[in-house]
Amino acid sequence: HPPLKVNTLAVFGVLRFHQGRLRESVAWFAKAYGIASAYRMPVVEMIKSDLRRLLEAMGREGFVNAWREATGGEKPRIT
């Protein structure tokens, strides 16, 4: 069941962020965000906060490119 995966996906996002692997972090958070927003889960706000932190760390262009790579070309919905 997809909602059960959200916390695990987000934890991988946090781990990759702390490892400095920011593009991978975006990919994990994008997956978590997609599920959390589709199921209207309260955790979506925390995931958005983590994504904004990545946006600040990577800059807009780097973040958007990583997001699009992770989502098959979608525009980020948090920027």
| pLDDT 10s digits, 41-63 | 999 999 999 999 999 999 999 99
Residue 60 pLDDT? 97
Global pTM value: 0.95
Which residue shows structure tokens 């098959």? Answer: 72
Report d(CA 59, CA 52) in Å as an integer. Answer: 10
Q: Which ranges of the chain have pLDDT less than 70? A: 79
Chain center to CA of 55: 10
Residue 79 pLDDT? 54
Helix ranges (DSSP H) in the chain: 6-18, 22-38, 44-58, 60-71
